[in-house]
Amino acid sequence: MYGQSLSADSPDTNLRRDAQFHAFVGVLVSSTIFNLIILGTIILNAVTIAMETTELSETIPVFFIVTDDIFLAVFIVEFLLKVYAEPIGYWKNNYNVFDFTVLIFTVAQFILIALDLGPAGITVLRVVRALSSLRTLRSISFSRGLQVLVTALIHTFRNAVFHLLLLLFIFMFLFAIMGYYFFGYDEGGDKQNWGDFGIAMLSLFNFVTAEGWTELQRELTNHGYVGSEFFSIVFLFLGHFIFTNLFIGVVIMNIHSATKDHEVAQKAEKEVFIQNKKKAMIQKQHEDVLEVLAKQNNSDFNTFQELTEEFQKTLRHEDFIYTTDLCTTVSWMDTMVASLTHLESSKYWVQQLQFEISETLAQMKELQLQAEQDMYM
């Protein structure tokens, strides 16, 4: 019966082999070696993209064509393996979706080159090639530290940046109107920097970035505006120091929050990994038991001890051992047998010691009685 269930043509065997191959692909795409190979490919592709902007693109064009084909083949194989390993889970990861989008641009580039659509195609191809440089951003998906920073920045822009920018715009609006009436309204005023609302807003951007504001202040001083230093210092303090530090503080808070979320996600992934490994271990032990029983039915073993020894060879030292079911594991059995052997040996030596003590005490008692008889005689 077991021999028939383990035959190569049985559906259960084929399903088991498919499950084993699926598990192998899952382990492969999550392995460190696989990720390092893909990361190395991305780095090499970034190098070739940079080299293609030089004169080498005209000197050795075949080199770039061949390398692009190789990189595209590697990325397509990576995509197929990951989708096969996790058909649904792959699309739940935003970084995987981004990788797929970049892959689409890369494939579109090769399609446009093959179609040769003329001037219009060249324009579209130029845009697609520019977007294909996004492949270098794929390295973010291989670094958890970068992912934490990107997540923090996204949360910052999504939740807090809009309100910060709105508040900054309100202050810039107020100071732009005041700057126009203080420094650009008069005929002899600084029309170049404060002549209207738009120009005043651009001048205030120099204060916000703290770049070139000294030249603006020097122009105001040359036009004879006494007290303009207070205007510049107040807005520089509000627009640059306050808002810049406020933005940095929000980013730090989001990085802290993203780090905590990352740690929780890591624990969850570790638990899932352990559970999957336990399931794989249980499945392997089940298959080993079926194989051993099939060999027993074929009379390959003469005794039960030979059967258990053969089964023990199929186990690995890194296999999980459930403490709740410890007495059924081979390691526990070996330990128990060895302990019983030592216990039996210890009991034997204790009995021998007891016999020797009893014999010694009997001899001492006999000598004592002999001495008493000699004394009375």
Res 308: pLDDT: 65
Is the domain of 151 the same as that of 129? Answer: no
Boundary of a domain, candidates 111, 142, 173? 142
Token pair in block for residue 24: 């192998």
Distance between CA atoms of 333 and 26, rounded to whole angstroms? Answer: 34
Q: Does residue 17 form part of some domain?
A: no
Distance between CA atoms of 307 and 338, rounded to whole angstroms? Answer: 19
| Count of structural domains within the chain | 3
Average pLDDT, the chain: 77
Res 312: pLDDT: 65
CATH code assigned at 261? 1.10.287.70
Res 6: pLDDT: 42
Res 329: pLDDT: 61
Boundary of a domain, candidates 303, 320, 337? 320
Hey, how many other C-beta atoms are within 10 angstroms of the C-beta on 180? Answer: 20
Looking at beta carbons, which pairs linking 228-236 to residues 24 or more positions away fall under 8 Å?
228/182, 228/183, 231/175, 231/178, 231/179, 231/182, 232/207, 235/171, 235/175, 235/204, 235/207, 236/207, 236/210
Res 310: pLDDT: 66
Is the domain of 151 the same as that of 101? Answer: no
Q: Does residue 260 form part of some domain?
A: yes
Is the domain of 183 the same as that of 277? Answer: yes
Res 5: pLDDT: 42
Token pair in block for residue 7: 């035959």
Boundary of a domain, candidates 302, 320, 338? 320
Res 306: pLDDT: 65
Is the domain of 150 the same as that of 105? Answer: no
Q: Does residue 25 form part of some domain?
A: no
Res 319: pLDDT: 53
Is the domain of 134 the same as that of 177? Answer: no
For residue 185, the 8-state DSSP code is S
Q: Is 54 helix (H, G, I), strand (E, B) or coil?
A: coil
Is the domain of 289 the same as that of 299? Answer: yes
Is the domain of 90 the same as that of 227? Answer: no
Res 2: pLDDT: 39
Q: Does residue 16 form part of some domain?
A: no
What are 113-170's pLDDT values in tens digits? Answer: 777 666 666 667 677 777 777 777 777 777 676 777 777 777 777 777 777 788 888 8
Q: Does residue 355 form part of some domain?
A: yes
pTM exceeds 0.75 for this model: no
Q: Does residue 368 form part of some domain?
A: yes
Is the domain of 160 the same as that of 112? Answer: no
Res 323: pLDDT: 52
Q: Is 93 helix (H, G, I), strand (E, B) or coil?
A: coil
Q: Does residue 214 form part of some domain?
A: yes
What are 86-102's pLDDT values in tens digits? Answer: 888 888 888 788 888 88
Q: Does residue 19 form part of some domain?
A: no
Is the domain of 193 the same as that of 296? Answer: yes
Domain interval for residue 338: 323-377
Is the domain of 288 the same as that of 149? Answer: yes
Residue segments in the chain with a per-residue pLDDT below the cut of 70:
1-13, 116-123, 125, 143, 145, 289, 292-332, 377
Is the domain of 86 the same as that of 183? Answer: no
Res 266: pLDDT: 76
CATH code assigned at 85? 1.20.120.350
Is the domain of 193 the same as that of 240? Answer: yes
